[in-house]
Amino acid sequence: MAVFRSGLLVLTTPLSSLTPRLVPILTSAAQLVNHTLYVHLQPGLSLEGPVQPESSPVQATFEVLDLITHLYAGADVHRHLDVRVLLSNIRAKSAFLPPQFSSVQNLARPPEVVLTDFQTLDGGQYNPVKQQLERYATSLYSCCPQLASVLLYPEYGSTEVSVEPQDAPSSSTIKPASPVARSPKQPVRGYHRGAVGGTFDRLHNAHKVLLSVSCILAQERLVVGVADKDLLKSKLLPELLQPYEVRVEHLSEFLVDVKPSLTFDLIPLLDPYGPAGSDPSLEFLVVSEETYRGGMAVNRFRLENDLEELALYQIQLLKDPKHMENEEDKVSSSSFRHQMLGNLLRPPYERPELPPNLYVIGLTGISGSGKSSVAHRLKGLGAYIIDSDHLGHRAYAPGGPAYQPVVEAFGPDILHKDGIINRKILGSRVFGNKKQLKILTDIMWPIIAKMAQEEMNLAVTEGKHVCVIDAAMLLEAGWQNMVHEVWTIIIPETEAVRRIVERDGLSEAAAQSRLQSQMSGQQLVDQSHVVLSTLWEPQVTQRLVEKAWNLLQKRIPK
């Protein structure tokens, strides 16, 4: 069976019957399409008969919104698929009608195959239904020249259909503003202009529900606030957030695909109110269950500044029944970032100059991040550990390779009476003095690197296959040049300060000063192959380290 990179799924089943069939339909489609699946809703469309079928407007009702939510919830099982429900033919109730474009809509990834749930018992290659389907698809969207077509029925129809699709929400997409019963057939009101905001990291299906509702409500302009800078500091594992520019690029492509008739303003969200708090032209704000209180605060802010309140639309969260320990029970970017821990983020370095049959990991992280704990766990799994601090102590010792050069550079007054280098005095000389620090590191770093290489040879003689260099200054010293992969441990700076104060007896100010003298967690992650965290309980750290180790074993050359 051929597999296509992009496809267009035309859904023709009436809405009342479609929801319980979504999961088997999507499962069938996911076997044929492996990247982008566009979905076009046209309930009641007939693909039989001599007349070419045409697209007609679909009234945006609460039932339609719920169907879109069910569709994205069902698609979450197939996370390799980028599902996009196209909204050009879905119309909200409005006193004004924006101009409609009859031209063919360009899509970011032109479909290579068009699929449908239309029920016909003739699945033959020359079935006229398939020809009608292809003509219908190409009359609406830009498709690949050699467009294939597939009738999913009766394959999906052979799957036992449950009343409620797997992983789908059981309640309405939009949480009612009042306890008064609302009919699913009730039309959704349209507005000229509105807003929605979020972090939109690794655009996922819950984001797509939020954005789709916003696109249906807006008839002319949608302002999308994208969290940046200070608003990111409280996020879980912020070092793994996609850069602002990447998030905006993915958002823009999705929005233009699903509703090209709208004008989109994507702007950085730098405070909790954003444009929703100050733009007098906006009429509605779409929020999630989590951000509803923020929406209420926006309205209070508007009233204080003599602006009209916005109509608030609160979207239900998508549940994630497959979430793991320490992950949220909803579909969220935080969980996706958590799942990245231990994974290979970029290709390893090729290091033919290193000892054969030895794979070298450079382990680093900010002070207090838990490097020693992770190194100990890796040792328990079979790694040979090189502790750069221990090498430094050996180098400083009388008779060590760094002893004489350091004494000559900084004078005999850095020595104890017994001739041992007083590292506290030496540290006070170089701390905050870049020139003096460079003199010291120019002496120490090459010596420690040479000692580490000698340790690698020792690891080989002991029959070890993985060697870990535990070094806080790994990247500053340029030692990534002698490892295959850089592994970084990250924790929030506030937690690092707490640990340093507790471990070393420093004041908070001194702990902060120590961290500011080092590369930040973000700078380390930007050059890392694998990221881990010791933020949670020890057993969680152990599982993460084991995950990273097991994945490492699969990619080490045999």
194: left (phi over 0), alpha (psi -120 to 50) or beta: beta
Backbone angles phi, psi at 284, to 5 degrees: -145, 160
Give the H or E element holding residue 533: strand 530-533
pTM above 0.85, yes or no: yes
Q: Are 362 and 469 in contact (CB under 8 A)?
A: yes
CATH label of the domain that carries residue 140: 3.40.50
Determine, yes or no, domain membership for 166: no
CATH label of the domain that carries residue 200: 3.40.50.620
How many domains, the chain? 3
Determine, yes or no, domain membership for 542: yes
Determine, yes or no, domain membership for 305: yes
Backbone angles phi, psi at 353, to 5 degrees: -80, -15
The verdict on 352 and 302 lying in the same domain is no
Structure tokens at 135: 């003509």
The verdict on 13 and 63 lying in the same domain is yes
Tens place of pLDDT per residue across the chain (558 aa): 689 999 999 999 999 899 889 999 999 999 999 999 999 999 999 998 888 889 999 999 999 999 999 999 999 889 889 999 999 999 998 756 555 556 899 999 999 999 999 988 665 656 889 999 999 999 999 999 999 999 998 766 554 444 343 444 445 777 765 555 578 889 999 999 999 999 999 999 999 999 999 999 999 999 999 999 999 999 999 999 999 999 999 999 999 999 999 999 999 999 999 999 999 999 999 999 889 999 999 999 999 999 999 999 999 888 876 766 666 778 899 999 999 999 999 999 999 999 989 999 999 999 999 999 999 999 999 999 999 999 999 999 999 999 999 999 999 999 999 999 998 899 888 988 899 999 999 999 999 999 999 999 999 999 999 999 999 999 999 999 999 999 999 999 999 999 999 999 999 999 999 899 899 999 999 999 999 999 999 999 999 999 999 999 999 987
The verdict on 78 and 146 lying in the same domain is yes
The DSSP result for 26-63, as a single string, is HHHHHTTEEEEEEEEE-TT----SSSPP----EE-BHH
Determine, yes or no, domain membership for 179: no
The verdict on 225 and 279 lying in the same domain is yes
Structure tokens at 465: 């296959």
Cα torsion 104, 109, 114, 118 to 10°: value is -80
Positive or negative, the Cα torsion across 441, 443, 448, 453? positive
CATH label of the domain that carries residue 403: 3.40.50.300
CB atoms within 10 A of CB 316: 19
The verdict on 433 and 546 lying in the same domain is yes
Closest listed residue to residue 210, CA positions, set 260, 285, 322:
285
Of the CA atoms within 13 Å of residue 525, those in its CB half-sphere come to: 22
Determine, yes or no, domain membership for 231: yes
Determine, yes or no, domain membership for 336: no
The verdict on 52 and 196 lying in the same domain is no
The verdict on 438 and 550 lying in the same domain is yes
* Separation in Å, CA 422 to CA 307, 431, 497: 66, 14, 26
Q: Are 198 and 213 in contact (CB under 8 A)?
A: no
Residue recorded with tokens 């008969």: 49
Structure tokens at 350: 């090729």
The verdict on 138 and 37 lying in the same domain is yes
The span from the CA of 259 to the CA of 123, in Å, is 32
The verdict on 366 and 279 lying in the same domain is no
The verdict on 466 and 503 lying in the same domain is yes
- Domain hosting 28: range is 4-96+104-151
The verdict on 299 and 347 lying in the same domain is no
Closest listed residue to residue 211, CA positions, set 274, 259, 269:
259
Determine, yes or no, domain membership for 38: yes
Give the H or E element holding residue 430: helix 423-430
The verdict on 74 and 218 lying in the same domain is no
